[in-house]
Amino acid sequence: MTTHGASPAQTAAWNSERRAGAPTVGWFVRRSALWAGIVIVAVVSACALYAIASGVGTDNVHAAPKASAHPLKV
Protein backbone atom coordinates (compact mmCIF):
# COMPACT_ATOMS: atom_id res chain seq x y z
CA MET A 1 0.00 0.00 0.00
CA THR A 2 1.40 3.37 -0.95
CA THR A 3 0.93 6.48 1.16
CA HIS A 4 1.47 9.90 -0.32
CA GLY A 5 2.74 12.48 2.16
CA ALA A 6 1.64 10.62 5.29
CA SER A 7 3.87 8.87 7.77
CA PRO A 8 3.63 5.09 7.91
CA ALA A 9 1.20 3.77 10.48
CA GLN A 10 3.80 1.63 12.22
CA THR A 11 6.11 4.51 13.09
CA ALA A 12 3.34 7.02 13.83
CA ALA A 13 2.41 5.19 17.03
CA TRP A 14 5.97 5.35 18.36
CA ASN A 15 6.78 8.99 17.69
CA SER A 16 5.99 10.14 21.22
CA GLU A 17 7.34 7.00 22.92
CA ARG A 18 10.84 6.96 24.40
CA ARG A 19 13.19 4.55 22.71
CA ALA A 20 15.09 3.60 25.90
CA GLY A 21 11.96 2.51 27.75
CA ALA A 22 13.49 3.53 31.08
CA PRO A 23 11.14 4.98 33.70
CA THR A 24 11.25 8.74 34.09
CA VAL A 25 11.67 10.80 37.26
CA GLY A 26 7.96 11.65 37.15
CA TRP A 27 7.10 7.97 37.09
CA PHE A 28 9.19 7.39 40.24
CA VAL A 29 7.62 10.39 41.96
CA ARG A 30 4.09 9.17 41.20
CA ARG A 31 4.92 5.62 42.28
CA SER A 32 6.59 6.86 45.49
CA ALA A 33 3.65 9.13 46.28
CA LEU A 34 1.29 6.20 45.82
CA TRP A 35 3.24 3.99 48.22
CA ALA A 36 3.73 6.85 50.71
CA GLY A 37 -0.02 7.43 50.71
CA ILE A 38 -0.71 3.75 51.31
CA VAL A 39 1.78 3.63 54.19
CA ILE A 40 0.39 6.81 55.77
CA VAL A 41 -3.17 5.48 55.61
CA ALA A 42 -2.03 2.18 57.15
CA VAL A 43 -0.16 3.89 60.01
CA VAL A 44 -3.05 6.25 60.78
CA SER A 45 -5.48 3.31 60.73
CA ALA A 46 -3.26 1.27 63.04
CA CYS A 47 -2.90 4.19 65.47
CA ALA A 48 -6.65 4.80 65.47
CA LEU A 49 -7.36 1.12 66.07
CA TYR A 50 -4.82 1.05 68.92
CA ALA A 51 -6.36 4.17 70.49
CA ILE A 52 -9.85 2.70 70.27
CA ALA A 53 -8.75 -0.69 71.63
CA SER A 54 -6.70 0.74 74.50
CA GLY A 55 -9.42 3.19 75.55
CA VAL A 56 -12.12 0.54 75.98
CA GLY A 57 -12.41 -0.91 79.48
CA THR A 58 -9.55 1.05 81.05
CA ASP A 59 -11.67 3.46 83.10
CA ASN A 60 -11.44 1.35 86.28
CA VAL A 61 -7.82 0.24 86.04
CA HIS A 62 -6.69 2.55 88.83
CA ALA A 63 -9.43 1.24 91.12
CA ALA A 64 -8.13 -2.34 90.91
CA PRO A 65 -7.17 -3.87 94.26
CA LYS A 66 -3.49 -3.76 95.12
CA ALA A 67 -3.42 -6.94 97.22
CA SER A 68 -5.57 -10.03 97.12
CA ALA A 69 -8.26 -10.41 99.77
CA HIS A 70 -7.30 -14.01 100.52
CA PRO A 71 -3.75 -15.35 100.65
CA LEU A 72 -2.93 -17.96 98.01
CA LYS A 73 -2.35 -21.49 99.28
CA VAL A 74 -0.03 -23.74 97.39
pLDDT tens-digit readout, 7-66: 555 555 555 555 557 889 999 999 999 999 999 999 999 999 998 888 765 555 566 666
pTM (whole model) above 0.85: no
Domain map (residue ranges) of the chain: 24-54
* pLDDT band for position 71 (cuts 50, 70, 90): confident
Residue 71's contacts (CB-CB under 8 Å, 6 or more residues apart) are: none
pLDDT recorded at residue 51: 86
